[in-house]
Structure 1
């Protein structure tokens, strides 16, 4: 199998995983609606950076390390679960607040974009299973001695997939009609989104507790 075919196979597999709904989708869509299109795109960029970091770490063997050093993997899951639960509680608590108007320009808007960027990156990095998934995909497709250029191409491809997909999500959900529809059902949608994130966070925590070393 040529290196080009290997790269395309990995890209296709990662793309399928990226478009599957999860906490990243909830965060980007919520950010785009509540804050602004710019904030949603910044969160999408953060998702891309977080995905590229995990891809680099997977290539470096982080997935093997996490599987061997059980306490590190469990700690990672506990912290990631607590972070997702925290985000979910924040969204739930804001469900009763009215939808804010479009944000202003200037320094405040720029600060909001940076905050959304870091929030997106942190959300992506909060799930250690992502590193294991990338590691599994790479192990399934990469030969024992892959060409050197793949070690640069793969993180870049993951970044483009993650950032590109969530940029589409941000553009769709920041449009006028979706935002207006959300405004009419904000209290319900926010509670559902918050509950989803809290549920995912608790699931990570319970997994860590269940798998803790005896």
Structure 2
């Protein structure tokens, strides 16, 4: 198999994983619907950066380190799960609060907050690095040139950012934002329950 075919296979597998609903999708869709298109695209870029970071760690062999030092894996899952539970609780608590409208003076700060929040959600789930490592182990040949390996994180960034940019563009439309305005309490509480539930599940995995 040529390296082009291998590259396409890897990115296709990672795109399928990115499309699967999870805390990242919920975060980007909520930010896009509740703030602005720029906030949503900033969140998408944050997801891409987080995915790029995880791919670098997976290629560097962090998964081997986690399997060797079980306590480190447990700590990461507890921290990541705890953060997701915190995000879920915050979403529930502020479900009745009015939407923070972006103004000309607060736009930059709002976009930075959206980027930061999305990045923290993306890196809070250490299961992602296991997915990446599994894909790389399955599809990368034993003897792979360093130059080829160096291109993989770039591809991961493009895949993650591209997918979540589409999500941001869809959920930041006026129609979706209008629907969000009218059902904010229900949506925020539902999203809070889902994200907190994913956090609890991640914490539960730490005890197995």
TM-score (normalizing by structure 2): 0.97
Correspondence for 1:66: 66
Q: How does 1:147-162 map to 2 (within 5 A)?
A: 147-162=145-160
- Which residue in the other structure is 1:140 paired with? 138
Q: What CA distance in whole angstroms lies between the structure 1 residues aligned with 2:119 and 2:21?
A: 17
Cα distance in 1, alignment partners of residues 147 and 119 from structure 2: 25
1:123 and 2:121 aligned: yes
Query: How far apart are 1:68 and its partner, in Å?
Result: 1.4
Q: Is the 8 A contact 1:3 1:147 kept in 2?
A: no
Question: Which deviates the most, 88-97 or 154-163?
Answer: 88-97
From 110, 115, 118, the counterpart of 1:112: 110
**Distance (Å, rounded) in 2 between the aligned partners of 1:203 and 1:188:** 22
Distance 2:107 2:52 in 1: 26
Structure 2: gaps of 5 or more residues? none
How big is each residue's C-alpha offset from its partner over 1:170-193, in whole Å with a ceiling of 9 and x where there is no partner? 111111000101111111111110
Query: For residue 196 of structure 1, what is the aligned residue in structure 2?
Result: 194
Q: Once the 2 structures are TM-superposed, how far is the Cα of residue 98 of structure 1 from its aligned partner?
A: 2.9
Post-superposition shift, 1:149?
A: 2.1
Please list every run of at least 4 consecutive aligned residues from structure 1 whose deviation after the TM superposition is greater than 4 angstroms. none
CA-to-partner distance for each residue in 1:84-137, whole Å, 9 max, x for gaps? 011111111111123344x1113x211111121121111111011100110010
TM-score (norm 1): 0.94
Give the 3-state SS of the residue equivalent to 2:97 in structure 1.
Answer: coil
Partner of 1:15: 15
| Contact 2:88–2:193 under 8 Å retained in 1 | yes
Q: Is the 8 A contact 2:34 2:180 kept in 1?
A: no
**Secondary structure in structure 2 of the residue aligned to 1:50:** helix
Matched length: 208
Match of 2:163 in 1: 165
| Cα distance in 2, alignment partners of residues 59 and 34 from structure 1 | 36
For structure 1, which segment, 21-30 or 110-119, has the greater mean C-alpha deviation from structure 2 after superposition? 110-119
- Provide the rounded CA distance (Å) in 2 between the counterparts of 1:77 and 1:201: 9
CA RMSD of aligned residues (A): 1.1
Using the alignment, how far apart are the partners of 1:148 and 1:207 within structure 2? 34
CA distance in 1, matches of 2:57, 2:148: 14
CA distance in 1, matches of 2:108, 2:149: 33
2:146 match: secondary structure:
coil
Is contact 2:51–2:122 with CA below 8 Å preserved after alignment?
A: yes
